[in-house]
Amino acid sequence: MKRIFCLYTGGTIGCVDSPNGLIPQHGILPKLISDLACSHIPSIEVTLHEYAQALDSAAMTPTHWRHIACDIAERVKHYDGFVVLHGTDTMAWTGAALHWQLENIHKPVILTGAQRPWIHAGSDAPANMQLALETAASDITGVHVAFGGLVLPAHCVKKLDADHDTAYGAPNAAHTNAMPTDQFALRAINPALNILALKLYPGCENAIASMIQTQTWDGMVIESYGSGNLPSHDGLTQALNEQAQRGAIIINCTQCIAGEVRQGLYATGDVFNTLGAWPAGRRTVEAARTWLYTHLGRSDKEVLRQAWQSVASL
């Protein structure tokens, strides 16, 4: 019998109605999950852990990502698979964060949730939960999102629809995880790092330049235009260069759902080369920012650059 450890962090799947809208609620999931497992997957044993504070996923922080990863790592020898029940708004961020922290884990770690509360008629929660449990009991390895009938690599996932049951996609996923060959070791996030993610928009130059200059950043992920282009603006370029000179690592991601950064294809993209920015290839902003949280401070900059280059080239 496969033993599955399930962590309930909060989110719509366990919500109830309140005068102020849907709120996460403790105590309603244990019987629902137990009944579903007994009826549809009797070959597994599920242990459910509900965090003391059930969070709307909009309230998730890097500290929460670290706690979830540590809780899984502490139990990795005692369970065959893991399911993380999570709100849909930031599941892609948590999925990417868990991927980097639990890299080379030899067991499945599956994130799921729901677009509508389990206790509501017609909810997508039972189907998502069944898919997650079945995947957690399979031979798959690594961190994945099981949602809307799809099982996707968590570090490639984007939330594409706020309403539809098939809420997630991985349009830039270029590969599937191979069986890990290295020994598993937790690489926990450092929540103290100051990592900025920002998205360019027409007319943003002065506002973003001012915001960048408010503090010193350890890392920056910029969602640029198209194949990796930056507006020609002296003030913005100067602000970015000052951060780079102070040691900030700048990663250049595309705003596009699919395609890759080809830094320097256009003159406006060559500015990033001058700044020493690292192209993200096909990696998402979620993957890039969480990678920085798990890697900065562990090696010198050149070693980190080579490590990121190997990730971005996949």
The catalytic residues are 12, 88
Enter the DSSP assignment of 295. Answer: H
Task: Name the token pair of 236.
Answer: 């913005």
* Distance between CA atoms of residues 7 and 90, nearest Å: 16
71 is in an annotated binding site: no
Burial status of residue 255 (CB atoms within 10 A of its CB: 0-12, 13-18, 19 or more): middle
CB atoms within 10 A of CB 247: 12
Sequence-separated contacts (24+) of 240-246 with Cβ below 8 Å: 240/212, 240/275, 241/275, 242/213, 243/212, 243/216, 243/217, 244/275, 244/276, 244/277, 246/216
> Is-contact 305 299, C-beta < 8 A?
no
88 is in an annotated binding site: yes
Distance of CA 287 to the CA centre of its chain: 6
> Is-contact 110 36, C-beta < 8 A?
no
57 is in an annotated binding site: yes
Binding residues: 57, 88-89
Binding residues for substrate: 57, 88-89
